[in-house]
A and B are shown apart, each in its own frame.
Chain A
Amino acid sequence: MSILGGGIFKGMAVTLRNFVGSYFYKERLTTNDYEWRPDGALPQSIGDYPKEEGEQLSDTTTVNHYSRNFPMLLHDTGEPMDTIRCVACQICERECPPQCIYIEKSTEKIENADGKPQFYPAKFDIDVSVCMSCQICVEVCPFDAIVMNSQFELSTPDRFGGLLVRRDDLLKSNDYYHKIHPQEAAARDQKMADDKAAKVAKKKAAAEKAKAAAEAKAASAAEAKASEDKTEDAE
């Protein structure tokens, strides 16, 4: 036997705790109180802050590094198009639930950051008015080329083209990524380095194996030849 209306009072206690707690514990707040910037502009994203001399950015004036909004393309240090990570494999385009990514593959290959010839996206458009920020493109990308940006001031007077973000606007450097999502970027770099090391190790192992196999083959061939010789001798 529960008390009549007890559930209502329980719920009201929860909401009261939230109400009072949000005034005393800043960490309860899921959103940040954006202060007016000295230059008058609203913050675009955490990376956009030209930190002034001696100015301490408090947690409440910036988007924190858990903030995710829309995807962006990554390139390594150097000219954006020379070091672009995307190889236009179009996996993200296929996986995108609201189908907001449009990719056109290039016809010729150029060298990527590793000096390997790869395809690149001749066109890479994301319609942010359609994007639902699900981050599935980030999950499926095998090249760590697409990650989430935290830029949120995207309003535009252009109703049709303004929200279609083109490849060159999507391209952001890995340094920027480190600035806005330091933990995630470090983890991703670590993972990429590990993958690369594993790949090298595997290649090496494969090469060694091949070498061993070749040696074994040579040995067995020699043995066979020897036995052949033996039989010949026996005859």
Chain B
Amino acid sequence: MSFELIKDILIATVPLLVIFPSLFAFTTWMERKALARIQNRIGPNKTGIPCTRIGLFGLGQPAADGIKMIFKEDIVPRGADKLFHLLAPILALIPAMLILCFLPLEFPWGKFMSAPVQAFLLDSAVIFFFAISGLATLAIFMAGWASRNKYSLLGGMRAVAQMVSYEIPLVLSAVVVVMMVGSLNAKEIADAQTGFNWFVFTPWGLAAFVIFFIAALAETNRSPFDLPEAESEIIAGYFTEYSGFKFALFFLGEYIAMFAISGLAVTLFLGAGDGPFLTAAPWLSVMWFIGKIFGLIAVMIWLRGTLPRLRVDQLMAFAWKFLLPLSIFNILLAGLTHFALDARVAATSDAILYSIHASHTHSDAANHDHPKPVAGQKEAVMGALHYTDKDWMGAMKWFSKAALKGHAQSRSILGWGFGIWAMSLIVLYVMAKGLDNVSRSTAKPREYLYAE
């Protein structure tokens, strides 16, 4: 192995191994603080700098937790399968760390590297992401089984049922973006969204984002889908029998998985590293990316402080009767909308481009009169060019400039564009509302035999 290769590997992996675990520490603190404030408490506020009275708003809490976890006794139940009991937390962490590699993070290594580094530049990154994150299910069931504890086993079984069910809407909602971009490469998906062409601004993208986010909550066992570790029902679910550092590994794995899946949501729908001031400071890209991840995590924490836990039948009914049909319908709608937009807008913008082209060729002929340029034609052409570049935001800007100057074709494009946009939003809402009405779980609690 050459020195260059080792350097490349280190540069690509060390940021992931350093940044995300430290973000995890910060997130545990943030979550505790936010939940406390939501419940009108103060939260950790005493653990700051050791041996002093400086509280630092309790920012030392993660370090104290970590030290505690390391020094705690590692208890393995007598009946447990010792090998798998040991392997499960490690296997829960590995896929979570691994899928971080697929995120199109561009660390600012300007001095050392000519090109931005991504840990694992893969053409089928999105597929690999889902494939590897699915492995976490196995680790969780392994933990539940190896503990030889009924609560662990119940939690493990719940986790498997839930994660397998919610993986389907998760993948199907991501399909929409893959359709639009025409690539599974995370970098290309990120590049397709530069200039605020985020997919969340399209109706199908918005619906897909909402479905993706809900399914991601269930995938990472977050409230309100935290049935596998429902402490009021089954103690701590699959990690009932885990203590000390193994427990910490599970905890870490769970949060890293949260980061990873939020990162994928950011990549697919929220424009990856796209944001303002990027032309002035390209290194801001990674800041925007992590900032957006934190935004999603904050919403997750907020939801955890708000929503009560679902019942198992509600959970299953929601996945199979609501999210799955809606995500399939969303794919259909995305295709149809794209088709309709192409049929109208693309044809019109082609016509604009053709007209300017024709006028140029004609004006070359000396015997012809120079055709009088239509008002706003220049802007319309710019819009059409942006449209062929798939820069919808830029196209919209130029077309609306042209339309303000009275350019008829641009007006028609804008009308059709907004009409289709609003119609698909309404159709999606009506569809979701209808599905909601029919998909509610009708299961009644079993009649109590000894009611008398």
Contacts and interface: CB of A to CB of B under 8 A. Distances in A.
B40 A30 contact: yes
B375 interface: no
Contacts of A33: 42, 45
B247 to A, nearest CB: 23
A18 B39 CA distance: 7
Contacts of B34: 19
Contacts of A36: 53
Interface residues of B: mostly helix, strand, loop or mixed? Answer: helix
B432 A4 contact: yes
Nearest to B303: A12
Interface string A1-30: 100100010011011101101110000111
Interface string B424-441: 000001001100100000
Given A8-B307, A15-B306, A31 B41 contact: yes
Interface in B274-301: none
Nearest to A40: B53
Interface string B414-452: 000000000000000100110010000000000000000
A23 B40 CA distance: 9
A231 B312 CA distance: 97
A148 B433 CA distance: 53
Interface residues of A, number: 19
B82 interface: no
Question: B34, B41, B306: which has the most chain A beta carbons within 10 Å?
Answer: B306
Which residue, A4, A15, A21, A23, has most C-beta atoms of chain B within 10 A?
Answer: A15
B72 interface: no
B305 interface: yes
Contact of A15 (B302, B429, B433, B436): B302
A126 B306 CA distance: 38
Contacts of B432: 4
Interface in B34-55: 34, 37-42, 45, 53
Contacts of A22: 37, 40-42
Interface centre among A14, A16, A22 (most CB of B within 10 A): A22
Contacts of A19: 34, 37-38, 305
Interface in A186-221: none
Given A4-B432, A4-B436, A36-B53, A12 B41 contact: no
Given A4-B432, A12-B302, A18 B37 contact: yes
Contacts, number: 44
Nearest to B36: A22
Contacts of A31: 41-42
Interface residues of B, number: 18
Contacts of A23: 37
Contact of B429 (A4, A12, A16, A30): A4
B418 to A, nearest CB: 22
Contacts of A1: 433
> SS class of chain A's interface: helix, strand, loop or mixed?
helix
Nearest to A35: B53
A28 B306 CA distance: 18
A11 B53 contact: no
A18 B40 contact: yes
A43 to B, nearest CB: 13
A29 B40 contact: yes
Contacts of A28: 40
B303 A29 contact: no
Interface in B288-344: 302-303, 305-307
Contacts of B307: 8, 11
Nearest to A34: B46
Nearest to B224: A8
Given A11-B306, A11-B307, A18 B38 contact: yes
Nearest to A14: B306
Contacts of B305: 15, 19
Nearest to A33: B42
Which of B37, B41, B433 has most chain A Cβ within 10 Å?
B37
Nearest to A29: B40
A16 B299 CA distance: 11
A21 B40 CA distance: 8
Interface string B190-224: 00000000000000000000000000000000000
Given A4-B429, A4-B436, A22-B37, A16 B42 contact: no
B31 to A, nearest CB: 13
Contacts of A15: 38, 302, 305-306
Contacts of B45: 33
Contacts of B303: 8, 12
Nearest to B34: A19
9 contacts: A8-B303, A11-B306, A18-B39, A19-B38, A19-B305, A22-B41, A29-B42, A33-B42, A36-B53
Given A15-B305, A30-B40, A30-B41, 11 more contacts: A8-B306, A12-B303, A15-B38, A18-B39, A18-B40, A21-B40, A22-B42, A29-B40, A29-B41, A29-B42, A36-B53
Q: Can you list the 6 inter-chain pairs with the closest CB atoms, starting with the nearest?
A: A11-B306, A15-B38, A19-B37, A15-B306, A22-B37, A36-B53
Interface of A: 1, 4, 8, 11-12, 14-16, 18-19, 21-23, 28-31, 33, 36
Interface of B: 34, 37-42, 45, 53, 302-303, 305-307, 429, 432-433, 436
